[in-house]
Structure formats: structure tokens, C-alpha cells
Amino acid sequence: MTTHTVSQDGASPQFLLRHDMPDPDVARVQRHEKKFLSAQAATEEESATSVETDLNQDRPGTSDDSSMRGLVTMTADGTTFLDCVSGVTHSIEEEGDFAALEHAYLAAGSESGTPIFATFDGDIVGEETEGSDEGHSVTVSRFIGVWPEVSCESATSEVSLTNTYWKILSLYGSEITAAEGGKEPHMILLDEESRFTATVGCNQFMGTYDLTDEDAISFGPGAASTRMACLNELQEWETLLSDVISNAAGLQISGEELVLLDTAGVEIAKFEAVSVK
């Protein structure tokens, strides 16, 4: 049995499943997710260990930033970044969110001079050299994470959109992190019956999705969620997740990163494929 709530501003109604009266669809989707996670954990031979840092929620990225994925090496002489896509090595400026990257590098137990895979939003700066990016440096505007077990080869091989555990990194530009003692924010697009399940750490969203093209996606209008009381921050994130589900129209996959776009092609959500531990 479902209850419908309509916002005062006339926005589309949200569909909430009553917590005390389980819906058969909810139970089925939950079984699918449990089965998927159990199977993935049982067959996983390697896990990418992520070491992340808490980010200030009011620190915005800029529209000019690019997603950087590559090998970071720190020595007494400085820090370098090998871009997995271009194969070009840049120096990294010690500004912006560099301190978070440095902290994560050291926390991962990496010795000086050891390359470690990292992801961050940043920009390539410096004087342009015709036909080459050599000599340019990189700035880190928003650190995401380090992944000691990941290589450039594995990172640049695209993962499947469906039946993959997608960790939620951001929703409408707001950084999303796991609450203490809570579930990790994630989304899974299940092949079976084209159903999805997602959470930011409190209630579970579920419903159907439709892939109209390789770079187009929409979620069914009957998306539902469980109805539990959540912390204020999680409630705000759930509102953002609900908006993403309602407004998603396109997608982009690059290596292990998934981005959802709205009808104008603007990024509204970012995810990273990770191993289930």
C-alpha cells in the first residue's frame, strides 16, 4: 500500500511506501539487491581500498574543473600526476584541496615514490606548448579518493552500467559521504526486470529504469522509498536523490565513473564503481 505526498509548491508527488505495511515490490527489489551483493562479494577476488577524506560541504567545485584519474607519486622533490587517459605526467600544485590528497596518500601507507591511483576534480594550468601538455601542472580543486589496488589499465576499462555497485559521490554538486554507522550511499541498476535500488544511507529508493539509448536513461514515475525517520542531513540528501531520479535524462561512463545528466546536459549526480567488501 502506498501513500502519496504532494509538495506545497506543486511539484510532482513523491511516492512513499508505508513502513509498517510492506509492499510485495519492495520485498522483491530488496531480495534482488541482497542476492546481487552477496554474489558479488563471494566472487570478488580483488578489492580497491579507498581512503577518503571528509570534505567541507560548502566547498563548491567550479564548472571549469575536469575529473582527473591517474597515478599520484609523492617525493621530497614534489608531487606528480600521471594522467591515465593522456599518458602525460604533470606536477601537482600544492594548493586548493592538495592537503586532502596528501593526507589520503600517506594514510594509505604509501612510501615516498610509490605511485598510487587517485581521483579528483581539477584543472591543467600553465603555459600552452603546441602539440604537448608536458610542463603543465595540475591543481586539485576537489579531492575524491585514492585506490591503492587500482592501476591505469583497470581504471580505463569501462565497467558495466548494470549489475554494478555505484557508490554515490555527489548529488547536484553536494558531496555525499557515509554517515557514521550508516549504510554507504550507493545505487544499483539491476538487469532483472530493469529495476534499481538506491540509498544515501537511510531510506531505500526503488523502482524501474529505462535505457532508451546507450547514453540516455530515465527512471519510472512510480519510484518509491521506505519511510523511516532520518537525520536532517540525510533527509536533505534524500531530497536531492529524489530530484536526480526525477530529472535524470542522460549518462556518461568513463572507466569506473558514472555521471547522470539532466535534459540540458548538466551533471546532477556522480558515482564511482567500487568493490563490495
Res 9: pLDDT: 45
**Which of 188, 169, 165 has the alpha carbon at shortest distance from 177?**
169
**Candidate from 47-61, 73-87, 134-148, 242-256 with smallest mean pLDDT:** 47-61
* Domain identity same for 24 and 70: no
Classify burial at 187, counting beta carbons within 10 Å of its beta carbon; exposed 0-12, middle 13-18, buried 19 or more: buried
The per-residue pLDDT for range 15-24, each reduced to its tens digit, is 343 333 345 5
Q: Calculate the CA dihedral of residues 24, 191, 211, 150 and round it to 10 degrees.
A: 130
Tens of pLDDT, residues 179-194: 776 788 999 998 888 9
Phi, psi of 252 (to 5 degrees): -140, 135
Residue 35 pLDDT level (bands cut at 50, 70, 90): low
Q: In this structure, are 20 and 96 located in the same domain?
A: no
The answer to whether position 188 is within a domain reads yes
Tell me how far CA of residue 266 lies from CA of 63, 71, 181, 191, 270, in angstroms: 10, 28, 33, 26, 11
Cell of 120: 579528483
The residue with greater pLDDT, 157 or 247, is 247
Identify whether the C-beta of residue 208 lies closer than 8 Å to the C-beta of residue 194.
yes
Structural domain that includes position 41? 2-47+157-273
Q: Are residues 245 and 139 in the same domain?
A: no
Question: Is the model's pLDDT at 10 over the cut of 60?
Answer: no
Q: Which of 38-42, 113-117, 267-271 has the highest mean pLDDT?
A: 267-271
**Per-chain mean pLDDT for the chain:** 76
Shared domain for 199 and 222, answered yes or no, is yes
Q: What is the CATH number of the domain that holds 119?
A: 2.40.50.540
Residue % of the chain over a pLDDT of 90: 39
* Region 66-71 average pLDDT: 81
The answer on 247 and 168 residing in a single domain is: yes
pLDDT at 33: 62
Is residue 61, in this structure, part of any structural domain at all?
Answer: no
- Pair (178, 268) in one structural domain: yes
Residue 52 lies in a domain: no
Q: What is the pLDDT of residues 115-165, one digit of tens each?
A: 998 888 888 887 544 444 456 899 999 887 787 877 777 666 668 898 888
The pLDDT of 13-32, averaged and rounded, is 48
Q: Are 113 and 194 found together in one domain?
A: no
Instruction: Check whether residue 165 and residue 266 sit in a common domain.
Output: yes
Q: Is residue 236's pLDDT more than 90?
A: yes
Number of domains in the chain: 2
For the full predicted model, state whether its pTM sits above 0.85: no
CATH number at residue 9: 2.40.128.270
- Residue 269 shares a structural domain with residue 163: yes
Helix and strand numbers (H, E) in the chain are 4, 17
Give one DSSP letter per residue of 235-276, joined into a string.
HHHHHHHHHHHHH--EEEEETTEEEEE-TTS-EEEEEEE---
User: Which pLDDT does position 20 carry in this prediction?
Assistant: 39
**Are residues 8 and 110 located together in one domain of the fold?**
no
Which pLDDT value is given to residue 157?
A: 64
Task: Based on the fold, state whether residues 135 and 201 are members of the same structural domain.
Answer: no
Looking at the fold, whether 106 and 43 belong to one and the same domain comes out as no
| 128 is a domain residue | yes
Q: Which of the pair, 151 or 91, is modelled with greater confidence? A: 91
